[in-house]
Structure 1
């Protein structure tokens, strides 16, 4: 895997995790927790997209459609993982 697509996925995932934490404050894990889960979810989301066939820079090119798809997938993956873990944490704390 090339470095630039991975960096884009991880940063997008962190943004997605923090955005989800800002929207759903009851399940927020704080900036650090949201960022860590967002990074993990962004990496997983990017890998899932590449398995499906939507890859960023797989052939050495970075076209706009691939970048947008990767950013969206990683942000959704980061937000989804943060939501799942935050929801489970809120259920266990009751």
Structure 2
């Protein structure tokens, strides 16, 4: 993996984590936490969407959308676990 792809993954993860924190009513975790939530959310979406037959496409904006949806799902699950 090249440095530029690692940097792109971190930037997309940070944006997706920040957006998911805004969508889920302020459940953000700070910069590092948002990056982690965004990356894990992108991984989660990468597992769920192909199994369901959905495809987002290529490019930076679709990667951000894909990671944001996965991060929102992740934050929703974390919220359910915290309630129990």
Q: If the length of structure 2 is used for normalisation, what is the TM-score? A: 0.59
Q: Which secondary structure state, in structure 2, belongs to the residue aligned with residue 93 of structure 1?
A: helix
What do you get for the CA RMSD once the two structures are aligned? Answer: 3.0
Between the two structures, name the one with larger relative contact order (CA 8 Å, sep ≥ 6).
1
Report the Cα distance in structure 1 between the residues aligned to 2:13 and 2:67, rounded to whole angstroms.
Answer: 4
Gaps of 5+ in 1: 55-65
- Following superposition, which runs of at least 4 residues in structure 1 exceed 4 angstroms of deviation? none
Gaps of 5+ in 2: 48-54
Q: If the length of structure 1 is used for normalisation, what is the TM-score? A: 0.54
Structure 2 residue 71 is matched with structure 1 residue 72: no
Match of 1:89 among 60, 69, 78: 78
Give the 3 Å change call, closer, same or farther, for CA 40–93 of structure 1 in structure 2. closer
Task: Report the equivalent of 2:29.
Answer: 30
Aligned residues: 73
Report the Cα distance in structure 2 between the residues aligned to 1:90 and 1:41, rounded to whole angstroms.
Answer: 14
